[in-house]
């Protein structure tokens, strides 16, 4: 899969790049004056609640806070990222779009012109081809439990990998993709659960997902 021209890496969390990297859209930069106004309005209330707050947190332990943002991401040209997102150690091809509240884990590759809509979750090492559409709330499952739960022994895990998605694949809202391979020119319906490899292009719906016919655009080279 051709990934892109002139990639560059962002290693700073929550950075808004000004040097030719991705365009970053979010509420923080455009509403700073509103935040200042809200802070001023809340100043009087802060004094009256400070004693209660200090009593409620005096015995608490400080949590580990992991900010949303971008760390170790390689970008192609013309990538758009809408904050808040959590992107970590992935590769985003030319003209990729990433919607808000999306998490992309390390080792993921996303091909040129692919769109990841809001609330999508892409697990470690998933590979998504070019010209794909990943709908709202789509989840890619992974067997990389040693990353998510390092206390689990590798001996207790199944020998499965990560999903590989071909080119021109459209995945509907809230679909779940297990560690399978999906060929080019496939449409996956909303809410479907893909539990096995898809080797023939067409439309797939249901739980588990089953082929229901050809794509309307007539692109069925794998059938």
Over its length of 223 residues, how does the chain's per-residue pLDDT go in tens digits?
444 444 444 544 443 343 456 776 664 444 434 444 344 445 445 454 555 554 545 557 888 887 778 999 999 999 999 999 999 999 999 999 999 999 999 999 999 999 999 999 999 999 999 999 999 999 998 754 444 555 555 555 555 578 999 999 999 999 999 999 999 999 999 999 999 999 999 999 999 999 999 887 644 443 3
Structure tokens given for 207: 């739980």
Structure tokens given for 62: 């400080």
Residue among 217, 210, 215, 185 at smallest CA distance from 195: 210
Structure tokens given for 154: 């590798």
What is the per-residue pLDDT for 17? Answer: 42
Give the burial string for 68-107 (b: 16+ CB within 10 Å, else e). Answer: bbbbebbbbbbbebbbebbbbbbbbbbbbbbbbbbbbbbb
Which region holds residue 20: left if phi is over 0, alpha if psi is between -120 and 50, else beta?
Answer: left
Strands 23-25 and 80-82: parallel
Residue among 141, 122, 131 at smallest CA distance from 193: 141
What is the per-residue pLDDT for 47? Answer: 52
What is the per-residue pLDDT for 73? Answer: 95
Query: How far is residue 17's CA from residue 21's CA, in Å, rounded to a whole number?
Result: 6
Query: How far is residue 192's CA from residue 148's CA, in Å, rounded to a whole number?
Result: 24
Strands (E), 17-141: 23-25, 69-71, 73-75, 80-82, 86-88, 91-92, 97-98, 103-104, 109-110, 115-116, 121-122, 127-128, 133-134, 139-140
What is the per-residue pLDDT for 152? Answer: 55
What is the per-residue pLDDT for 27? Answer: 46
Q: Which pTM was predicted? A: 0.69
Structure tokens given for 132: 């794909």
Domains observed in the chain: 14-25+68-213 (2.160.10.10), 27-55 (no CATH)
Which residues does 79 contact at the CB level (< 8 Å), separation at least 6? 21, 22, 23, 92, 93, 94, 95, 96, 97, 98
């Amino acid at each position: 899969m051709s990934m892109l021209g002139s990639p560059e890496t962002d290693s700073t969390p929550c950075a808004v790049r000004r040097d030719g990297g991705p365009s970053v859209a979010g509420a923080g930069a455009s509403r700073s004056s509103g935040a200042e106004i809200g802070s001023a309005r809340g100043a009087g209330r802060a004094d009256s609640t400070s004693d209660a707050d200090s009593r409620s947190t005096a015995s608490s332990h400080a949590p580990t806070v992991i900010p949303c943002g971008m760390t170790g991401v390689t970008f192609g040209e013309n990538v758009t990222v809408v904050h808040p997102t959590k992107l970590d150690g992935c590769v985003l091809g030319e003209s990729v779009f990433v919607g808000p509240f999306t998490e992309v884990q390390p080792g993921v590759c996303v091909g040129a012109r692919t769109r990841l809509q809001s609330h999508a979750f892409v697990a470690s090492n998933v590979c998504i081809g070019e010209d794909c559409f990943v709908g709202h709330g789509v989840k890619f499952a992974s067997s990389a439990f040693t990353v998510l739960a390092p206390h689990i022994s590798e001996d207790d895990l199944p020998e499965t990998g990560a999903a590989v998605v071909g080119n021109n694949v459209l995945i509907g809202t809230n679909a779940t993709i297990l560690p399978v391979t999906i060929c080019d020119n496939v449409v996956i319906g909303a809410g479907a659960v893909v539990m096995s490899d898809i080797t023939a292009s067409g439309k797939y719906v249901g739980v588990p997902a089953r082929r229901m016919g050809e794509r309307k655009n007539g692109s069925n080279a794998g059938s």
